[in-house]
Amino acid sequence: MRSETKMMQLILATAQRLPQVKAVAMSGSRVNKHIPKDKFQDYDIVYIVDDKKTLLENRQWLDSFGPRLIMQTPEEMVLWPNELGECFTFLMLFEDDNRIDLTLCPLSYIQQWLASEPMVKILSDPHHLLADLPESSDNAYQFPAATQRTFNECCNEFWWVSTYVVKGLARDELLYASDHLYTICQKELLRLLSWKVVLQKGKINIGKNYKYLFSFLPEKQQTFENLLDFSSIDACWQSLLTTQAFFHEEAKGFAQSTGFSYTKTTAERVIKYTQRHYELVDSQD
């Protein structure tokens, strides 16, 4: 695997060979000193260009980065909407395990790109195109504290969608039930746990998909991971029942710590509803 030093030299050397590239910058985890380094970190690179079209028409210059294992160009795909405006991205994983997410940003789009990137490091800017770059901060990545309203909405979403999981399990629809359980109910549980951390420790970065959460709550990690068995209808029932109990206890404790109100009666009714349908299904087996 090529070293970080070699990769940075290659990124800059490639830019210098391309007359269209007027500046080079890096964003993402490699410019955030609070993020632990490892070999899976991407190089989130931006080439500021005055001519994107020619770089897209002839892409042989990409070969200078080395043999690719796989590449994706999101702006050319139809399954997902374009989120980068006038920018164009090459997502490249190389055979030596290095990965570069390379964005071509037109000169006319610099301000819009900067507005979407809270942390940027200038690597090359001979024309001073990025001279007014604000100081980088990871504040945008910090998890927001709960309010009474957001706490209410989190709890309502959790208990409401729990009934969808019950319906799916009662119908033997494992995919439907497990999808609602993980992507909605358990994500609301993760949100609630994140609020608990923020309450205890102040502003923190939980990370994408809550990946740093359990570094702040190690005592909860195994409890949560035990919920992730969706391998059968019965396993999913057990996960739902345990997830509900987990959420209910955490919500009561959080409400007590913050002084927020919590509609325990709603939670208790949904728990009884879940238990009743579980027992009905179990009695029919």
Candidates 111, 87, 115; CA nearest to 101 is 87
pLDDT (tens digit per residue) in 92-126 = 999 999 999 999 999 999 888 888 887 889 999 99
Query: Where does residue 243 rank: exposed (0-12), middle (13-18), buried (19+ CB within 10 A)?
Result: buried
The 3-state DSSP class for residue 100 equals strand
The mean predicted confidence, pLDDT, of the chain is 92
For residue 268, give Cα distances in angstroms to 45, 99, 141, 245: 50, 48, 35, 10
- How much is the pTM? 0.80
Domain residue ranges in the chain = 4-139, 142-284
pLDDT (tens digit per residue) in 4-48 = 999 999 999 999 999 999 999 999 888 877 777 888 889 999 999
Classify domain 142-284 at the CATH topology level.
Four Helix Bundle (Hemerythrin (Met), subunit A) (1.20.120)
- Answer yes or no: are the C-beta atoms of 129 and 48 closer than 8 Å: yes
pLDDT (tens digit per residue) in 179-212 = 999 999 999 999 999 999 999 998 888 888 898 8
Helical H segments across 129-186, by residue range: 148-170, 174-180
- Per-residue pLDDT band at 242 (split at 50, 70, 90): very high
Percent of the residues in the chain that have a pLDDT greater than 90, as a whole number: 74
For domain 4-139, give the CATH number. 3.30.460.10
The answer on pLDDT for 135 being more than 80 is no
Q: Does this chain's domain 4-139 share its CATH topology with 142-284? A: no
